Structure 1
Amino acid sequence: MLEHFFQCPYCWEDISMLLDTSVTRQTYVEDCEICCNPIEISVSFSDNELTGFEVNNLEQ
């Protein structure tokens, strides 16, 4: 597991998330721990290193 920090696309607060490095590509929705809005998270890993991380506002 890897702890990664990023800004929420709704409230702009810094939040952290544990990412599973054993899954090379994943996209899922998780609520912000501060404002509770849904965030779409896309993550990719190569050799257990984070190679891509993107968060999107689902209410666009």
Structure 2
Amino acid sequence: MFEHFFQCPYCWEEISVLLDPSVSTQTYIEDCEVCCRPIEFRVVFEEGELVEFQYSDIEQ
């Protein structure tokens, strides 16, 4: 597992997510561990290296 830090698009707190480099392309939704609002992630690994990490709030 690979720990990656980023800033929540809602509460602006720095949080981290655990990423699995064995799956090359991932898109998923996970709640912020501070404010519990949903964040959509897009993650791409190439040869075990993180090459793309995008995240965005989910407008409701």
TM-score range, shorter chain: over 0.9
Q: TM-score, normalised by structure 1?
A: 0.96
Structure 2 unaligned blocks of 5 or more: none
| 1:7 alignment counterpart | 7
Structure 1 unaligned blocks of 5 or more: none
RMSD of Structure 2 on Structure 1 (CA): 0.9
| Cα deviation digits, residues 15-60 of structure 1 (max 9, x gap) | 0111000000000000000000000000000000000000111017
> What CA distance in whole angstroms lies between the structure 2 residues aligned with 1:11 and 1:55?
14
Q: How many equivalent residue pairs?
A: 60
